[in-house]
Amino acid sequence: MHQLVIRGATVVDGLGNEPVRADVAVRDGRISAVGEVRGAGEREIDADGLTLAPGFIDLHTHYDAQITWDRTLSPSPSLGVTTVVMGNCGFGIVPAAPAVRDLILRNLSVVEGMDLDALRAGVRWEFETFGEYMAALRAAAPCANVAVLAGHSVIRTAVMGEAASERAEATADELAQMKALVAEAMKGGAIGLGASYSLNHSGYGGVPMPSTITELSELDALVGAMGTRPAGIVQLASGAKTVEEIEAIAARHGRAVFKATGAAMYNDQAPERSIEMFEACRAAQARGNPVYIQLPCQPLSFDFTLANAYPFFSHDAFSEAKAYGPDQLIPLFRSREFRDRFRASLANPRPGLIFQGNWNRVVVAVPALAKNEALADRTIDEIAAERGAEPLDVMLDLGLEENLETTFIGQFLNVGDEGVARLLRHDAGVVALSDAGAHLTFMCEAGYGLHFLARWVRELGEFDLADGVRRLTSHPADLYGVRDRGRIEAGAWADLLLFDPDTVGVSASERVADLPGGGKRTIRRPTGVHGVFCNGVEVFDGADYVTNGGGPGGSGPGQVLDRFAPSSALRPGNAAAD
């Protein structure tokens, strides 16, 4: 008997084939039949009028800490995600000797916009090594499948402590220790290596995240330490590093490299810059050196206050302010010296910065004082023009008047349907960068897949349903070497999303106080979702997590992935020898 039969759905297989009406049967966690299924299932679902697709593969998440206290990996499974890759940008929580644990959490709280008190209260330190972390994840029994990147910054911290953010060059012994930790992680089942050279990545007290101060030669040495097995990719928040520099690493080691940078997102202030980067990646691929760009399918949006103005942190004026509390920020924001320094930085913004002085993209969302209610939903640029003042002064003065409690929304990059569509269609790109699990104070982009189906497939028609689903499922799975997932075919794991294509989408953001210690975060909820299944077990029923599928008090069906195929981006003979 089948474990599960979903009958009469419009099946979109994730491989780009035309949708067909069919039954899908599941046995032992895998798809056992597609077509007209004879015989009953232990559970049967009538899916008439609904569409069945593979669950989404989210390549860029930061659930490394949250998973230790929340097996559901909320809210991703509710939003159609059945496999996540953690440890992106080289930020994670392992290896973690007791002496560096709080340093790791302090840096993570700033660079990934996480509540430090929640991290300290929530992370369960039941591990020290990478292997012990993987064992702890298996014991946690997550709701979704999980793959973990070894992290350059966290490995550097484990070896060098606070000096990791202070000293650009490691000693020969320190580098040898780092290489050994990378090799250990790869043998323990890491999907690859993550690192960052981003200007936006700073840690606690404004210190740079460790990998960002190193020469590429250190990263190159660590990629070399990944071993000779053909599986394993490199993920890099590339900052100002060029495609040519990254291509050299891909060529030397036979690894697919996936870069993430704000400079590759569409920016109407420099509309050709991003497409030029995509074209450079296409040229690298033509030479047999796979370099891809991770691209979000949503505008890069942030909710923030001046008490925690993350979008501005990469500007020099905020170098010390990142770790300041309100008592320190208020006199700082009043000072002419600070304002002039911020103004100077905005006059010559560096590529890759989140905020580049586009005040027309900063909106007053929620004024803190009733007398300022008329400012709601107006841009800083508009208010400044009305007052005959500079936008920078208008924003700071409003924030000071409201004790830094004004809520602003910034949409800084990836805004403009035509420009973004051109990038999403490009074969050098892969839909990613949800940052799920991070920046909880400011945003929640975990619903990127549902947004893609609603916006780019249904509303704009830039993709048909078959190709749109492929871009969210088998395409990322195959590029990262995730075996037997992202497709509906006999033998594949039964990671499935049942939805109504006419109503599928994602809600507006809302704030909830459900982090450890009562900390607040931003979440979004699905619309049009009727069920999410991981390895054949329902984990979300369209309204809530299913208890016996991984909800509170349950044990989740997700697998901790530790065996991968070579990236589909590698040409025959171009992979590192097995």
Q: Give the separation between CA 17 and CA 464, rounded to whole angstroms.
A: 11
Our count of domains for the chain comes to: 2
pLDDT of residue 210: 98
Q: Give the separation between CA 560 and CA 63, rounded to whole angstroms.
A: 13
Cβ neighbours for 139, distance < 8 A, ≥ 6 positions apart: 126
- The verdict on 259 and 321 lying in the same domain is no
- The verdict on 294 and 338 lying in the same domain is no
Of 284, 341, 364, 185, nearest to 571 by C-alpha is 284
- The verdict on 141 and 245 lying in the same domain is yes
Of 298, 355, 362, nearest to 509 by C-alpha is 298
Does a structural domain hold residue 493? no
- The verdict on 294 and 399 lying in the same domain is no
Does a structural domain hold residue 574? no
518-550 burial, b if ≥16 CB within 10 A, otherwise e?
A: ebebbbbbbbbbbbbbbbbbbbbbbeebbeebb
Q: Give the separation between CA 105 and CA 323, rounded to whole angstroms.
A: 14
Does a structural domain hold residue 163? yes
- Domain boundary pick from 451, 478, 505: 478
Spans of the chain, pLDDT less than 70: 352, 547-554, 571-578
Q: What confidence tens digit (pLDDT) does each residue in 426-454 have?
A: 999 999 999 999 988 777 899 999 999 99
Helix, strand, or coil (residue 350): coil
Q: Give the separation between CA 486 and CA 437, rounded to whole angstroms.
A: 22
pLDDT of residue 205: 84
CB of 143 closer than 8 Å to CB of 549: yes
172-209 burial, b if ≥16 CB within 10 A, otherwise e?
A: eebbebbbebbbbbbebbbbbbbbbbbbbbbbbebbbb
- The verdict on 394 and 433 lying in the same domain is no
Give the dihedral of Cα atoms 528, 531, 532, 535; nearest 10 deg.
-160
Does a structural domain hold residue 14? no
- Domain boundary pick from 397, 412, 427: 412
Phi, psi of 208 (to 5 degrees): -70, 145
Q: Which two tokens stand for residue 339?
A: 């304002």
pLDDT of residue 553: 54
- The verdict on 259 and 155 lying in the same domain is yes
pLDDT of residue 199: 82
Does a structural domain hold residue 227? yes
Does a structural domain hold residue 467? yes
Q: Give the separation between CA 228 and CA 222, rounded to whole angstroms.
A: 13
- The verdict on 288 and 366 lying in the same domain is no
pLDDT of residue 41: 93
Q: Which two tokens stand for residue 425?
A: 């269609």
Sort 44 into a burial class: Cβ within 10 Å, 0-12 / 13-18 / 19+.
middle
- The verdict on 143 and 173 lying in the same domain is yes
Of 410, 411, 409, 383, nearest to 397 by C-alpha is 383
The CATH number assigned to the domain holding 155 equals 3.20.20.140
Phi, psi of 257 (to 5 degrees): -115, 130
User: For the chain, how far is it from start to end, CA to CA, in angstroms?
Assistant: 40
- The verdict on 159 and 275 lying in the same domain is yes
Does a structural domain hold residue 573? no
Q: Which two tokens stand for residue 492?
A: 């594949």
- Domain boundary pick from 461, 478, 495: 478
pLDDT of residue 527: 98
Mapping DSSP onto H, E and C, the string for 440-455 reads CCCCCCCCHHHHHHHH
φ/ψ bin of 227: left (φ > 0), alpha (ψ from -120 to 50), beta (otherwise)? left
pLDDT of residue 304: 84
pLDDT of residue 244: 97
- The verdict on 376 and 429 lying in the same domain is no
Does a structural domain hold residue 72? yes
Cβ neighbours for 415, distance < 8 A, ≥ 6 positions apart: 266, 268, 299, 300, 361
Q: CB neighbours (10 Å) of residue 210?
A: 33
- The verdict on 99 and 182 lying in the same domain is yes
Distances (CA, A) of 21 to 6, 9, 394: 11, 6, 57
- The verdict on 224 and 145 lying in the same domain is yes
Domain housing 329: 302-412
